[in-house]
Structure 1
Amino acid sequence: MAGQDWVQWHEAYEDPASSLSRRLAMVRQQIATVLDARPPGPIRVVSLCAGQGRDLLGALVDHPRRHDVVGRLVELDPHNAEVARTSAQQGGLAGIEVVTGDAADTGNYAGVVPADLVLACGIFGNVSDDDIRRTIAMLPGFCVTGGTVIWTRHREEPDLVPAICEWFEAAGFKPAWVADGSAGYGAGVHVYSGPTTELPLGKRMFTFQA
């Protein structure tokens, strides 16, 4: 990941016309929809490659279930992780933990999975096709039965979104929503319909491409 400045990458969020900004708004909307549908009680959330946590933390700002949400954001970049940590603290989100660590290492999710909501945003456009397939195959270990995964991936050629949807279905997920090509970005929401399984720890899911 040495070739990409992931702090600077977040600056595109400040431009409301950017595809990244529009994608963020969509992800926040989908997060809110998932939270609205969850039964009473704690809602466990896990975010892989969480960055500054703008998707989840932004969605929780005014959400009525904000204090029901507990979980962990995992982010490798120390600056971005600290921004997320500060935002969670300032927002009074005591149930949100931010870990500075490698999101590809399944060991960083010990004690917080299976979850009701898993965010895999900003990953699939930066890793190999094989790593995407491998990561999706591991996601059942992240989810309770009925848990939701929200993911993103660009629609540039070769457009991998149809294959990603097939890989999710092969792993026991059902599509709830997938952005069409006109959105300017790729994204989807898949719900896990299989049995709860144990996530193997100490496994590596993906490696970011420079």
Structure 2
Amino acid sequence: MTRDWYAWHADYDRSGSALSRRLAEVRERIRQALDQAPAGPLRAVSLCAGQGHDLIPVLAAHPRRDDVTARLVELDPRNAEVARKAAAEAGLTGVEVVVDDAALTDRHADLVPADLVLVCGVFGNIVDEDVRATVRHCAALCATGGTVFWTRHRREPDLVPTICAWFAEEGFTPVAVSSPADGVGIGVHRFTGTPRPLPPGVTMFQFVGYDRRTHP
């Protein structure tokens, strides 16, 4: 099975769609994290970043925009080009868009631990063991006091409570977790531990049913 991840993004523009509602919530949570971030330079990494809808519009309008050095990693070059163009049009010179496999630790090594770590659209497309492994790696991707943003559907079996428990085991505290009634699963966790080294040459996750990984 092959999905056209470029065409998939059209659902963001459909008013009232689950993706549009999820996007609005994620953007608001990113704004809040930027508002609360300490003064000085900030780092952000976005895994399977797609067209950059989560992060780029928020940075474009935020007072801390010039403090942020960000890397968006996306496998589909069409989506990456949309993100790259959006960042350029917004004058976000600190935003880099890379066409590559975001599951590989080496793609993030020189920019972590980061203050903002986006893992949106990933956990619903990988097996539970890979979700657990990725949460573990978040303790290397995220700086002390930094924030991880993640998404996961709330369909049964609902893995969101378990994911929250896994984050707690790795030294994260919850900032916000959507309820099943919201229809979309959004989690925000702040890291209170000490970042562990990011292991080189590791594949953190693999999308189920796809030979290559792109933004879901």
* Category of TM-score, reference length = shorter chain: over 0.9
Structure 1 residues 79-128: Cα deviation after superposition (integer angstroms, max 9, x where no partner):
10111111111110000111100010001012100100100000000110
Q: Per the alignment, in what secondary structure is the counterpart of residue 125 of structure 1? A: helix
Structure 1 residues 36-64: Cα deviation after superposition (integer angstroms, max 9, x where no partner):
00111111100000000001012123111
Structure 2: state its 5+ residue gaps.
210-216
Structure 1: state its 5+ residue gaps.
none
* Aligned-residue identity in percent: 56
User: Structure 1 CA distance, aligned partners of 2:193 and 2:105?
Assistant: 20
Displacement of 1:196 in angstroms is 2.2
Q: Does 1:143 align with 2:133?
A: no
Which amino acid letter does the alignment assign opposite residue 83 of structure 1? V
Displacement of 1:201 in angstroms is 1.5
Provide the residue aligned with 2:185 in structure 1: 186
Q: Per the alignment, in what secondary structure is the counterpart of residue 25 of structure 1? A: helix
Verify the 8 A CA contact 2:149 2:189 in the aligned structure 1. Answer: yes
Q: Per the alignment, in what secondary structure is the counterpart of residue 202 of structure 1? A: coil
Verify the 8 A CA contact 2:152 2:185 in the aligned structure 1. Answer: yes
Which amino acid letter does the alignment assign opposite residue 13 of structure 2? E
Q: Does 1:10 align with 2:9?
A: yes
Note the 1:1-210 alignment, pairs <5 A. Answer: 3-210=2-209
User: Structure 2 CA distance, aligned partners of 1:133 and 1:67?
Assistant: 34
Runs of 4+ in 1 over 2 A off after TM superposition: none
Which amino acid letter does the alignment assign opposite residue 114 of structure 1? P
Q: Per the alignment, in what secondary structure is the counterpart of residue 186 of structure 2? A: strand
User: Structure 2 CA distance, aligned partners of 1:188 and 1:130?
Assistant: 18
User: Structure 2 CA distance, aligned partners of 1:60 and 1:85?
Assistant: 14
Calculate the aligned-residue CA RMSD, in Å.
0.9
